[in-house]
């Protein structure tokens, strides 16, 4: 049978109706059987490859495993091209590129310095590269700080699994830290500023039992409370004039470094209402860098003299021209105010001036007299002792400690007898009009008025907070709970 005849017979056998299949015998289809066997094997093999490939990709979330990427990178360009499908999606390409360029994972180890530790000992314990450490120290300059480490310091080291050092950082003080960075096979070291964030915090309180209790519940720390008292002490007698229902509002700075609170800064503005009278003050720094606190009309809140130069518990005797002396039992003038206070309480100078008398004076016992400007003189009596280093002619500043409460001389208990004289005439320390410090210069008023109005608006609105950051300016809000 010829080739053409065999082909025709094959076609007839393949497409012949089933009812006529037995009418005519056919030769055994050896070629057809081989063709179908090969086709079936090819189909089964293709399906198996797709199933295996799909399972592998599904197991890695559709991503090429790192080990696969490493294997591909070691093959020849022709082999890599043959492994890529003809239509690769952008996502698959980027995933493969990221996998092939991935660096070994970095680990950060924090080393805490203890007594007797050296940098070499710390690095050895942490299995860090000694060669890298020596290369860093060889830089000198900023890295010299690593040679003089102290107990309590912490050194942060970022390294790979093999101990190779990638970077080092160590805080030097509140404002600076050492940074060592690796660039290829070279290290670079520098001392950099620690970013400082300053926020403005708001606090408001209503006094019920005491100012300290209300201020603490409003979120104020003791130093801020003491500053608040000091700033208003020229106008308010906090020992006797504070009443239940009095209120205060404060805007003050909070300082953070590396997201950790460090300290509270100065008060920026404050308002105090007592006995239906409201006092307002704000801090202003002039272009020369000098700061002070002023009232809305530009008056300096600081007075040249203090009404009470001691933290007293009560007034044991007031100013009087006809007073019965408790020791002599005779009526005679009492030209000062007696502030009762515990033995040893510090006594400060009421203002700037110089000492014109220091010693014992009859019934005054240990006594100091200070001459101030404008014809004012102040006297401090019944001290238990003088502060060392002071003598006649010594210059003193306002709030500088000059002695301590006692009961020397004619006294029935520990207290300070305090007098103010103007041109030699005694004046009542609690009522005399005190000389004010230099007011705000007129050329600064426009800037001060603008700042003051902004601060007052913030207090009225419950504290809209501004943030200053050395690295970048951002905005945030901090608000303390109201005390009731």
Instruction: Write out the DSSP string of 398-436.
Output: TT-EEEEEB--SS-SSSEEEEEEEETTEEE-TTTS-PPB
Handedness of CA 171, 172, 176, 181 (dihedral sign): negative
Residues of the chain with pLDDT under 70: 1-104, 258-261, 319-332, 463-484
Strand partners, 171: 177
pLDDT at res. 430: 83
- Contact indicator for 257, 413 with CB cutoff of 8 Å: no
Measured between alpha carbons, how far is 237 from 434 in angstroms, rounded to an integer? 14
Element (H, E) at 112: strand 107-112
Measured between alpha carbons, how far is 21 from 470 in angstroms, rounded to an integer? 96
pLDDT at res. 234: 83
Q: Which residues, including other chains, have CB under 8 Å from residue 13's CB and lie 6 or more apart? A: 26, 29
- In the chain, domain spans: 28-97, 107-193, 197-302+441-469, 314-427
Has this prediction a pTM greater than 0.75? no
pLDDT at res. 42: 59
pLDDT at res. 66: 31
Q: Is residue 160 classed as helix, strand or coil in its secondary structure?
A: coil
pLDDT at res. 193: 87
Model confidence over 420-447: pLDDT tens digits? 999 989 998 888 888 888 889 999 999 9
**Residue 464 CA, distance from chain mean position:** 18
pLDDT at res. 473: 35
Strand partners, 203: 250
What Cα–Cα distance (Å) separates residue 42 from each residue in 31, 39, 82, 272, 407?
17, 5, 19, 93, 115
Angle (nearest 5°) at CA 234 between 451 and 357: 130
pLDDT at res. 345: 94
Query: 77: which 2 tokens?
Result: 């360009």
pLDDT at res. 114: 93
Residue with tokens 């805080």: 171
Class of 314-427 per CATH? mainly beta
- Contact indicator for 178, 170 with CB cutoff of 8 Å: yes
pLDDT at res. 256: 80
CATH of domain 197-302+441-469: 3.10.450.350
- Contact indicator for 393, 376 with CB cutoff of 8 Å: no
How many CB atoms are closer than 10 A to CB 220?
25
Query: 83: which 2 tokens?
Result: 């492994």
| Helices marked H in 60-164 | 66-73, 77-83, 90-100, 119-125, 130-137
Q: Is residue 81 classed as helix, strand or coil in its secondary structure?
A: helix
The reply to whether domains 197-302+441-469 and 314-427 share a CATH topology is no
Phi, psi dihedrals of residue 95, rounded to the nearest 5° = -65, -45
In CATH, 107-193 is 3.10.450.350: yes
Q: Which residues of 224-244 are buried (b: 16+ CB within 10 A; e: fewer)?
A: bbebbbebbbbbbebeeebee
**Angle, helix 3-15 to helix 30-59, in steps of 10 degrees:** 60
pLDDT at res. 35: 53
SS (H, E, C) 357-395: EEEECHHHCEEEEEECHHHEEEEEEEEEEECCCCCCCCE
Element (H, E) at 11: helix 3-15
How many CB atoms are closer than 10 A to CB 291?
9
Phi, psi dihedrals of residue 233, rounded to the nearest 5° = -70, -20
Measured between alpha carbons, how far is 266 from 279 in angstroms, rounded to an integer? 18
Q: Is residue 376 classed as helix, strand or coil in its secondary structure?
A: strand
Measured between alpha carbons, how far is 151 from 11 in angstroms, rounded to an integer? 97
């Amino acid at each position: 049978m010829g080739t053409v005849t065999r082909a025709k017979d094959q076609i007839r056998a393949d497409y012949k109706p089933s009812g006529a299949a037995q009418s005519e015998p056919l030769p055994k289809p050896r070629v057809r059987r081989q063709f179908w066997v090969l086709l079936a094997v090819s189909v089964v093999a293709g399906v198996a490859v797709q199933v295996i490939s799909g399972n592998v990709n599904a197991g890695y979330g559709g991503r090429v495993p790192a080990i696969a990427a490493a294997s591909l990178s070691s093959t020849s360009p022709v082999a890599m091209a043959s492994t890529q499908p003809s239509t690769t999606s952008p996502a698959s390409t980027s995933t493969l590129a990221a996998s092939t360029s991935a660096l070994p994972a970095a680990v950060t180890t924090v080393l805490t310095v203890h007594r007797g530790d050296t940098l070499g000992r710390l690095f050895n314990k942490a299995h860090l590269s000694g060669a890298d450490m020596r290369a860093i120290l060889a830089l000198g300059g900023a890295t010299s700080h690593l040679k003089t480490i102290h107990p309590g310091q912490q050194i942060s080291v970022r390294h790979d699994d093999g101990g190779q050092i990638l970077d080092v950082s160590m805080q030097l003080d509140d404002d600076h830290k050492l940074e060592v960075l690796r660039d290829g096979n070279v290290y670079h070291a520098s001392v950099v500023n620690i970013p400082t964030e300053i926020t403005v915090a708001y606090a408001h309180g209503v006094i019920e039992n005491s100012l300290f209790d209300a201020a603490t519940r409003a979120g104020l720390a003791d130093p801020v409370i003491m500053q608040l008292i000091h700033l208003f002490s020229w106008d308010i007698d906090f020992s006797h004039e504070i009443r239940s229902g009095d209120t205060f509002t404060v805007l003050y700075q909070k300082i953070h470094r590396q997201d950790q609170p460090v300290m509270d800064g100065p008060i920026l503005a404050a308002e105090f209402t007592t006995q239906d009278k409201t006092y307002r003050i704000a801090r202003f720094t002039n272009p020369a860098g000098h700061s002070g606190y002023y009232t809305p009309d530009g008056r300096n809140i600081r007075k040249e003299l203090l009404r009470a130069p001691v933290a007293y518990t009560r007034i044991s005797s007031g100013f009087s021209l006809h007073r019965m002396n408790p020791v002599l039992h005779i009526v005679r003038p009492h030209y000062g105010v007696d502030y009762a206070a515990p033995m040893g309480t510090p006594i400060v100078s009421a203002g700037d001036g110089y000492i014109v008398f220091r010693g014992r004076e009859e019934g005054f016992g240990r006594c100091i007299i200070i001459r101030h400007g404008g014809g004012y003189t102040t006297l401090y009596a019944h001290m238990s002792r003088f502060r060392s280093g002071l003598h006649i002619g010594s210059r003193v500043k306002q709030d500088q400690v000059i002695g301590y409460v006692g009961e020397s001389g004619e006294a029935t208990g520990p207290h300070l007898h305090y007098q103010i004289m103007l041109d030699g005439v005694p004046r009542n320390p609690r009522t005399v009009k005190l000389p004010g410090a230099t007011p705000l210069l007129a050329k600064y008023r426009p800037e001060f008025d603008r700042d003051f109005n902004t601060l007052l608006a913030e207090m009225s609105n419950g504290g809209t907070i501004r943030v200053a950051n050395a690295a970048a300016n951002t905005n945030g809000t901090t608000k303390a709970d109201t005390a009731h």
